[in-house]
Amino acid sequence: MTATTTPPVAAEEEAPLRPRARPRTPAETLGTSARYLALIIAAGLFLVPFYLIIRNALAADSEITAPGWTLFPSTIHWENFGELFTDPSVNLLQALGNSAIVAISQTVGMLLLCSMAGYGLARIPYRYATPIFYAVLVTLMIPPAVTFIPSFIIVSQLRWVDTYQGIIVPVLFSGFTTFLFRQYFLNFPRSLEEAARLDGLGYFGAFWRIVVPNSGAFFSAIAVITFINNWNQFLWPLIIGQDSSKWTVQVALSTFLTAQTINLHELFLAAAVSIAPLVLVFVLLQRYLVQGVAETGIKG
């Protein structure tokens, strides 16, 4: 749909767009300084929410609510961690575990199902491949969130409300991800697969032994984006995981936010803990993430 499936952009763009051989004029120097000034201000604003999370997570409530801004708590309250994880009314570990189960199995499942379907649609010359591809394309016109009530109905008929499979399975069948894989495999060099064929491998062997091992970057990009989206998804787990034993970390945070049953520093510390795995993924795999976003335009 909106994926323009453009030719891969070089992952990094360290080479400046227009290298300048000419000596700088005062006007250019001024322009560059203005650009940096604008970027520094913007970057400062962008970091404010992270600063607030850390500040409030490590403070005592009295410092958060004190009149007059405390830039940072005078003593860092590391004991907030112990308090958060032993608070019986919070059970953050359960929520983090649920989120991990949900996000990891959704990422693995979606990658498996959609990459295989995409490969079949791209490469196997089956008689009905084209009409089946159109049946997939049609689903791209309706974003899944818009049909959450229909999806809830089927899950309730399967008696999957308040189960992991209810949260995990219905999300797996992404027409969009399949479409992206199909476009990717269409551009995969045929010669490699033909070599596999000559070695006596069928489609299955060619896919697993040749195509997948040579598509690491693309799979990683989709995996990182899918994982982040699934970790952060809210509406679907909110509807299906109604019992507190099935709350994901987003649903748990939202409940504490609306009910305000726990104190401020615990809430902010819980928020910090909930984004920590993602920041880690983000820092380690940003290259794949940026490349994936640039090439596919996927976002949750």
Partner 1 sequence: MATTEVAAPPRGSRGRGRIGGVAPAFWLFVGPFLAGLVIFVYVPIIWSVILSFSRGQNTVTPGDWVGLDNYIDLLKPGPFLDSLVTFTVFAAFIVPLTFALALGLAMLLNRIRFMRTFFRSVFFLPTACSYVVASLVWKLSIFNGVRFGLANTVLGWFGVDNIAWLATTDPPWYWLVIVTVRLWLQLGFYMILFIAGLQRIPRDLYEAADVDGAGRGWQTFRYITFPQLRPTSVAVLLLLLINAYQAFDEFFNLLGNSSFARPPLVYLYYTAQGNQDYGHGTAGAVILALLIMIVTLAQGRIFGFGRAE
Residues 54-73 that bind partner 1 (CB under 8 A): 56, 64-69
Part in contact with partner 1 (CB under 8 A); list of ranges 79-87, 88-96, 213-221, 283-291: 283-291
In the complex with partner 1, the residue whose CB is nearer, 88 or 125, is 125
With a CB cutoff of 8 Å and minimum separation 6, the contacts of 275 are 53
| Residue 45 CA to its chain's centroid (Å) | 23
Return the SS3 of 137: helix
In the complex with partner 1, the residue whose CB is nearer, 76 or 154, is 154
Minimum distance of partner 1 from residue 103's CB (angstroms) = 11
Minimum distance of partner 1 from residue 11's CB (angstroms) = 10
Convert residues 242-261 into a mask of x (bound to partner 1 by CB under 8 A) and - (unbound). --------x--xx--xx---
Q: How many residues bind partner 1 (CB under 8 A)?
A: 117
Residue pair 218/296 in contact (Cβ under 8 Å)? The answer is no
In the complex with partner 1, the residue whose CB is nearer, 96 or 295, is 295
Q: Which residue in 21, 25, 26, 46 binds partner 1 (CB under 8 A)?
A: 46
Part in contact with partner 1 (CB under 8 A); list of ranges 78-86, 88-96, 100-108, 291-299: 291-299
Minimum distance of partner 1 from residue 32's CB (angstroms) = 7
| Long-range Cβ contact pairs of 287-291 (< 8 A, separation 24 or more) | 287/11, 287/12, 288/217, 288/220, 288/221, 288/223, 288/224, 289/221, 289/224, 289/225, 289/228, 290/11, 291/8, 291/9, 291/11, 291/217, 291/221
Burial class (CB in 10 A: 0-12, 13-18, 19+), 118: buried
Minimum distance of partner 1 from residue 254's CB (angstroms) = 5
Residues between 66 and 125 that touch partner 1 (CB under 8 A): 66-69, 113-114, 116-117, 119-121, 123-125
Residue pair 207/230 in contact (Cβ under 8 Å)? The answer is no
Render the burial of 276-287: b for 16+ CB within 10 Å, e for the rest.
Answer: ebeeebeeebee
Tell me the H-state helices in the chain.
26-57, 61-64, 79-86, 92-123, 129-139, 148-157, 164-168, 175-186, 190-198, 203-206, 216-232, 235-240, 249-259, 264-296
d(CA 2, CA 141): 10
Minimum distance of partner 1 from residue 88's CB (angstroms) = 21
Minimum distance of partner 1 from residue 61's CB (angstroms) = 11
Q: Which residue in 1, 30, 76, 93 binds partner 1 (CB under 8 A)?
A: 1
Amino acid at 157: Q
Part in contact with partner 1 (CB under 8 A); list of ranges 2-10, 90-98, 100-108, 208-216: 2-10
Convert residues 151-190 into a mask of x (bound to partner 1 by CB under 8 A) and - (unbound). xxxx-xx-----------xx-xx-x--x----x------x
- Taking CB under 8 A as the rule, does residue 220 contact partner 1? no
Compute the C-alpha angle 22/26/32, nearest 5°: 85
Part in contact with partner 1 (CB under 8 A); list of ranges 47-55, 72-80, 83-91, 210-218: 47-55
Give the orientation angle of helix 175-186 with respect to helix 92-123, to 10 degrees: 50
Residues between 4 and 43 that touch partner 1 (CB under 8 A): 4-6, 9-10, 12-14, 16-18, 32, 35-36, 38-39, 42-43
